[in-house]
Chain A
């Protein structure tokens, strides 16, 4: 039973090795000229260290979250498009219902002003 996991082990080793190789290769071959800005951690275009109780713009998060939502939902159209012929008409209707849900959500965020920058 454990032998079933050997391909997974090989894959993990390959993936880990690939990542490690890349990191080491850039360390060796790349030029290293640090500046203050370059060394600061990057986090969504915000200053990274701030007193926590402070107002900060949430536009980026709202847009990013909405993008993720619609992106993931959009992805589910791909497998559907491939097997659409096999699904025939009922499959088409079901996707339209899904699309209606998406559309209502889209209208909602639009009218709420979540897309205004």
Chain B
């Protein structure tokens, strides 16, 4: 028998370009082994290990950013261009912040810490691959990897029914959405004859041999784009595919909610841009209208529904939906500035949104109903080190000038104006004005209402919570200002610093964001 030699054309440089992902994968295996071989609770050990692994991956990403990475590696299935690296930064920072607030949560709730960090790293791996994927197959596998880890993480508090409900709901709805996305991918493959995003774009631009000239007007392409849009819209919680978000965000353990509310969206938007704004850029007219309608619906519904929330985690869920709407505005602009705006937005969003969740997570570990806004009364007078950063996050999410949120929104809207979509910007500005109401209400509750009232009013709010009973004497003496645990301190001030610095000196990072977009546009032959 004659054996034809198949040359596996993979060099060390190929592996080097997925080094951040490899570090995360190795770390995941290491944590699994530590979990089964090291006896005891070992929360400290696993937390530190996870942080070190994330830091190593960050260093590897930074190195790839510095050298520019490889445009396409491993047979053109993944890339390590600056666009992927920029999103990796957001993903890794949000994972690190979520890990930082996990130990307190693990030790105070019925939380089996074992596989927790391994699953977080699994989700990170999926997200990084999602941001780096250049092939529909890789995108789908990455999506499954991150979703499977997140399903389990949302239901991780096994003995709390709300957490179980969150995990199950997320699993059922999200796997349904994955099917939509996969069907869309299949049809796109059927029309263009390739799973490579770059080949798809050359096919639709009419430059490829063996690719039917009628591909751009094929009805299958329309259906495929529609199905993919539904899949992506569901995963990044865009109206009208957002119904799962508040329930899952409220039920899932707070560190997990913090992580998935930012990192999942960052990864999915990176892929969204790669598939729609890059690969399908020549058929923009096919999808622009749908994106326009989705953006308007998302901004309007997200902001108006958030007005009625009394639970902080639900409020942040609707605020996350609204922010997805602003990001869609930037994406709909479909120019280089809009894409850099999306990249920058996620970095800003990482700090301000996770910061708000750090606040909630800390209150929960102290035995309070940490997610009821009514229980924040006068928290400034009891714990200013907690209330001040929270106010920064709220101002930043609302988009007040010296913060990251303002600048991110400004660039997003500027891109849309540049592209001539003034209608989107008008809706965006009006709905952000609406959003000021609910963000500032939180600040008002913390700063303007007296702390003395806190104890008697708080009691009837969470009736079935045993720690609330012990808590009465504690809050009756508002002079004692509890010291924050160091990890909460680090987490909340890092996030606050990020939210401020990105707002005051955004130019450096904005240059980085536009460099990353230049890289990805060059990859797809766009100017």
Contacts and interface: CB of A to CB of B under 8 A. Distances in A.
B308 interface: no
A86 B36 contact: no
B3 interface: yes
Interface stretch (A7-15, A16-24, A100-108): A100-108
Nearest to A93: B8
B5 interface: yes
Contacts of A83: 6
Contacts of B3: 85-86
A79 interface: no
Interface string B60-71: 000000000000
Contact of B36 (A88, A91, A107): A107
A88 B29 CA distance: 27
B36 A112 contact: yes
A17 B10 CA distance: 47
Contacts of A101: 29
A108 B35 contact: yes
Given A101-B29, A104-B29, A111 B6 contact: no
Interface string B19-48: 000000000010011011100000000000
A83 B29 CA distance: 28
Interface string A14-46: 000000000000000000000000000000000
Contacts of A100: 29
Given A85-B3, A101-B29, A104-B29, A90 B10 contact: yes
Given A101-B29, A104-B32, A108-B35, A94 B8 contact: yes
A111 B37 contact: yes
Contacts of A88: 5-6, 8
B424 to A, nearest CB: 40
Contacts of B36: 107-108, 111-112
A63 interface: no
Contact of A90 (B4, B8, B33): B8
A116 to B, nearest CB: 14
A38 to B, nearest CB: 33
B33 A108 contact: yes
A112 B37 CA distance: 10
A86 B33 contact: no
B4 A86 contact: yes
Contacts, number: 31
A15 B4 CA distance: 36
A99 interface: no
A96 B5 CA distance: 20
A33 B39 CA distance: 57
A112 B8 CA distance: 37
A97 B32 CA distance: 16
Nearest to B10: A90
A62 B297 CA distance: 43
A40 to B, nearest CB: 27
Contacts of B8: 87-88, 90-91, 94
Contacts of A108: 32-33, 35-36
A93 to B, nearest CB: 9
Contacts of A107: 33, 36
Contacts of A112: 36
Contacts of A111: 36-37
A5 to B, nearest CB: 13
Contacts of B29: 100-101, 104
A107 B29 CA distance: 11
A86 B4 CA distance: 6
A50 to B, nearest CB: 18
Contacts of A94: 8
A105 B3 CA distance: 34
Interface in A63-117: 83, 85-88, 90-91, 94, 100-101, 104-105, 107-108, 111-112
Nearest to A108: B32
Q: Which of A86, A88, A100, A108 has most chain B Cβ within 10 Å?
A: A108
A10 B17 CA distance: 47
Contact of A86 (B5, B10, B32, B37): B5
Q: Which of B4, B8, B35 has most chain A Cβ within 10 Å?
A: B8
Interface of A: 83, 85-88, 90-91, 94, 100-101, 104-105, 107-108, 111-112
18 contacts: A83-B6, A86-B3, A86-B4, A86-B5, A87-B8, A88-B5, A90-B10, A91-B6, A91-B8, A94-B8, A101-B29, A104-B29, A107-B36, A108-B32, A108-B35, A111-B36, A111-B37, A112-B36
Given A104-B32, A104-B33, A107-B36, 8 more contacts: A85-B3, A88-B5, A90-B8, A91-B8, A100-B29, A108-B32, A108-B35, A111-B36
Interface of B: 3-6, 8, 10, 29, 32-33, 35-37
Give me the 10 closest cross-chain CB pairs, A-B, nearest first. Answer: A111-B36, A90-B8, A86-B6, A85-B3, A104-B29, A108-B32, A86-B3, A86-B5, A87-B6, A108-B36
